[in-house]
Amino acid sequence: MDLAQFSQQLINGISLGSLYGIIAIGYTMVYGILRLINFAHGDVMMMGCFFAYYGILMFSLPWQFSFIIAIALTAILGIIIDRGAYRPVRKAPRISALITAIGVSFLLENAGIVVFGGRQKAFFRPEMFDSIITFHGIRFLNLAIYVPIITLTLLGIILLIIYRTKVGRAMRCISHDMETTRLMGVDVNRVIAITFAMGSAAAAAGGILWALKYPQINPLMGIIPGLKAFVAAVLGGIGNVGGAMIGGLILGLAEIMLVAIRPDLSGYRDAIAFGILIIILLFRPTGLFGEKLPE
């Protein structure tokens, strides 16, 4: 592999990895606060894509508006899922919430098939993201540059909210000790709702970028990116927002590089994520940047 090829794969890897990362943030935020793996998160991402799709197709909105409205609707969907599915089992044993999450996931996937139809739909790629850049023998879609810029900007905004605002401080307190946070006068359910909204909005943004990159959408499209993002979150240390992005980048680069170096192994691409997951769970369950878990 020469330098040009390497650079090309690097760009592809970063672009893919930052998508895993932005989706992983939703997993890690919800886990940090509720100790819940929100298995429906990948499906929430899928819903974001469909909201954007129908915004353009049915309501003929300009794509910018459609994307922003889709992100907002997905944030609301996240709040509704928390309110309707997770809050009722908040005090039940953790396994109940986990099973509920799997139920929500199936519900979204199957409702998606009924409402949107199971067939692939072509996602609209605006011209802005559709030009090929050639540079010293490297060729790539300019989208590959936009993706990391957009995702890192979103990460920055999310980190600002978590570390520089009052509600963010409450999130950090809840993740450390929910009961004592209540004693501070914090409406914990409200903060949890905001957490779901933020994670779901990030997933929608990630999903839309995903759909721009692979412009075919269907109701089951969230499953694989969702699983990969989950691995990225575990790799980065679940509960750690910056770690989720780094985990995503590592995973994306590992996948792209494996295929670049050994094209004959490209069929095993999806296996990398699960190999990483197994290794991490065996040797370092708290991930690369995870804090030592209490208890």
Residues near other proteins (CB under 8 A): 166, 169-170, 172-173, 176-177, 179-188
For the CB of residue 77, give the shortest distance to other proteins in the complex, in Å: 25
Supply the DSSP string of 65-102, one letter for each residue: HHHHHHHHHHHHHHHHHIIIIIGGGTTS-HHHHHHHHH
Q: Phi/psi of residue 81, each to 5°?
A: -60, -45
For the CB of residue 166, give the shortest distance to other proteins in the complex, in Å: 7
For the CB of residue 196, give the shortest distance to other proteins in the complex, in Å: 18
CB nearer other proteins, residue 177 or residue 270: 177
CB nearer other proteins, residue 193 or residue 256: 193
CB nearer other proteins, residue 94 or residue 166: 166
Q: Where are the alpha helices (DSSP H) in the chain?
A: 3-34, 41-57, 63-81, 94-116, 143-164, 166-176, 178-183, 188-213, 223-235, 241-261, 269-283
Distance CA 75, CA 200 (A): 5
Helix (H) or strand (E) holding 129: none
CB nearer other proteins, residue 125 or residue 182: 182
The residue among 10, 189, 213 whose CA lies nearest residue 90 is 189
For the CB of residue 177, give the shortest distance to other proteins in the complex, in Å: 6
Distance CA 13, CA 119 (A): 28
CB nearer other proteins, residue 114 or residue 183: 183
For the CB of residue 26, give the shortest distance to other proteins in the complex, in Å: 22
Distance CA 113, CA 106 (A): 11
